[in-house]
Amino acid sequence: MNQAVFDCLSIALNPAIDHSLSIPHFAAGKVNRVAAEESRAAGKGVNVGVAVARAGFRVAVSGFLGEDNAGSFESLFRKYAVVDECVRIAGSTRTGIKITDPASQTTTDINFPGAEPTAANVAELRERIAKLDARWAVLAGSLPPGVPISIYEELTADLIRRGIRVAVDTSDRPLQFALAAKPSVIKPNIHELEAITGRALKSQAAVLRTARELVEGGIECVIVSMGAEGALFVTASEALLAVPPQLLIRTTVGAGDAMVAGWITASLRGLDLEKAARLATAFSLTAIDVNPRPEPRSYFPCIQITKL
């Protein structure tokens, strides 16, 4: 295989079929009635790759797909001209059930573990990634059973040695391991940041201090998503708070993935930090369930940017 060059290589080790249920006034332990449902190929790495492709860039997605239900992913990739570099493994790609409550604007996730790749599957994945060149690589999502907890660290180090910038969007121990390889960008939310630092971050100032410490440790940019309070974008020379407008939000599913895609898109376009923060926030807004869904730039005037 000849080495291919992409704008973005998105690596999805544990993708999912998202089965979303809209249940007004959802209550655990009681009978609930579904108002609407949708099933689609997803997972953080898949979502990021497709969003960057929709922005007009050449994208490949690699990772693991179960042979038994790969069709929905294959259709999605064809629709958006995403190059499929995924390794097929025995079994089915997991299903993730998302229960959204439009009344309380909350989402409950029920995530299955996924099929377990063999050692041969992991070796094949590494070989595929080694043959792909890209300006950016994104490592996003959880790990499937049986995959070494250090795989994000190892892949990050390999990609950086090849001159590829790396963004990591995961949590818990996989994120802690990945930090050792010093990826270019990480995007935890507050809870994920608390988990990897062992701190209770009760104020914006505490979040900002922690993000700056990670930058001092070798991360080029730390993006911390804080829900309706906005997101912090922190580099060695700047720190910005981007606050979105108040919208009627029915679900926040995919908003974090879209923010990563917006950041990658901004970098590929050569934007400065303020414009990148604005675009990343706008991307996240286009992912929420509002109707109609405007283009990202239509949100620009109503996103508040504050220099910290």
| Vertex 42 angle, CA 132 and 148, to 5° | 60
Catalytic center residues: 257
12 in Cβ contact with 45 (< 8 Å): yes
What is the full DSSP assignment across 96-133? EEEEEETTTTEEEEEE---PPPPHHHHHHHHHHHHTEE
Sign of CA dihedral 114, 118, 123, 128: negative
Phi, then psi, of 190 in degrees rounded to 5: -60, -45
- Token digits of residue 238: 């700047």
49 in Cβ contact with 103 (< 8 Å): no
CA distances (Å), 129 to each of 61, 62, 243, 258, in order? Answer: 10, 7, 36, 23
Q: Cβ–Cβ contacts within 10 Å for residue 44, how many?
A: 25
- Tell me how far apart the alpha carbons of residues 223 and 4 are, in angstroms, rounded to a whole number: 29
154 in Cβ contact with 13 (< 8 Å): no
Length of the chain counted residue by residue: 308
Q: DSSP E strands: which ranges in 95-245?
A: 95-101, 106-111, 132-140, 165-169, 185-186, 221-225, 231-234, 239-243
- Tell me how far apart the alpha carbons of residues 206 and 183 are, in angstroms, rounded to a whole number: 22
Task: Name the residue among 124, 99, 123 with its Cα closest to residue 111.
Answer: 99
